[in-house]
Structure 1
Amino acid sequence: MEYIIDDIDRAILASLAEDARQSLKVLSARVGLTSPSTAERVKRLEERGVIEGYGARVNLAALDYRIQALVRVRPLPGMLQKVDKLIQALPECIENDKVTGEDCFVMRLVVHSIEQLDALLDTISEYAQCNTSIVKSSPVKRRLPPI
């Protein structure tokens, strides 16, 4: 059975995306339901996988990760699986997408220095071609599309 998202579910999702730590009382007031009704809807959204989890947004610079890099990765022939495993094993890789086109992966790395970035890329360069861009700023942070 397909789960239909109605306007109240959308309001719940938008409010939780803005502040996942808000109390049930505040969330209920924002969406115009009682606390038990809101709790039941949130539970249903979680059970159906619409809400996959909750997390904290961390300031990476506060952890001394001053550099972010976007790296397009093109594995050498026969090295796709090896490169995939190498990328997944990198704790500095905070995102990785398998993509179409000439490259197979686009990953986002966070590092303390250019030297650290070079060392990480060296672990992959034996098995893949890498094209790296340093992130200057992120005017649009990861966000939900219109709900």
Structure 2
Amino acid sequence: MSLEFEKILDETGWRLLYELQQNARLSYKELGQRVGLSLPSVAERMRKMEEAGIITGYHAEVNLTKLGLPILAIIRLGSFVGESCARVAAQASEIPEVLECYKVTGADCVVVKVAVTSMPHLEQVIEQLSRFSTASTSLVFSKPLENRVITHELLERAEGIQDNSL
């Protein structure tokens, strides 16, 4: 981690980041109370984390089932001969049902997460994706791990693993 990030992400910075990952709707006043800072200090630290690109946005978590999209699927896409992974990713990203899109290594070149209303709807999405790529689909039964909070301990663990491999 660079010196700039180390200054921003001292113990208090990590505590702010932890609280925000738990609940991004906390006011600066509430954040300050939780980490022991004044409102202006919280505002300044938040501004620095945003400017440094550590915090890239604030999002509402949406219950897809309540919105009428109860089926979640992971679709792995390989590329056809002459079709680049970048093009497959770009075409997949234009489909409204695609919630996330990743370019990956291995036998597949792109992995997407889609949300649909029904099995016929999923079939339609798979047919769309299959026009420019081979598709392999897995249905999601449950999500045992919600969004993991990124902590300083996670980075320290990774640094320890790197140190041991040298």
TM-score calculated relative to the size of structure 2: 0.84
Deviation at 1:128, TM superposition (A): 1.3
Match of 2:139 among 134, 142, 145: 134
Deviation at 1:68, TM superposition (A): 0.3
Partner residue of 1:46?
50
Which position in structure 2 is the counterpart of 1:29? 33
3-state SS, counterpart of residue 135 of structure 2: strand
Q: May I ask how many residue pairs the two structures share in their alignment?
A: 147
How far the C-alpha of 1:75 sits from its partner, in A, is 1.2
Using the alignment, how far apart are the partners of 1:31 and 1:118 within structure 2? 49
In the other structure, the counterpart of 2:99 is 94
1:105 corresponding residue in structure 2: 110
Q: Aligned residue for 1:73?
A: 77
How big is the shift at 1:145?
2.9
1:6 aligns with one of 6, 10, 23: 10
1:121 is matched with which residue: 126, 135, 157?
126
Structure 1 residues 103-129: Cα deviation after superposition (integer angstroms, max 9, x where no partner)? 001110000011111111111213211
CA displacement at 1:78 relative to structure 2: 1.2
Higher helix fraction: Structure 1 or Structure 2?
Answer: 2
Contact 2:14 2:151 in 1 (8 A): no
Map Cα deviations across residues 115-147 of structure 1 (whole Å, 9 max, x no partner). Answer: 111111111213211110000000101223333
Question: Which has the bigger relative contact order, CA under 8 A and spacing at least 6?
Answer: 1
- The worse-fitting range, judged by mean Cα deviation, of 121-130 and 110-119 is 121-130
Residues in 2 aligned to 1:132 and 1:3: alpha-carbon distance in whole angstroms: 39
* Aligned-residue CA RMSD (Å): 1.3
Correspondent of 2:23 among 12, 19, 26: 19
**CA distance in 2 between partners of 1:146 and 1:36 (Å):** 24
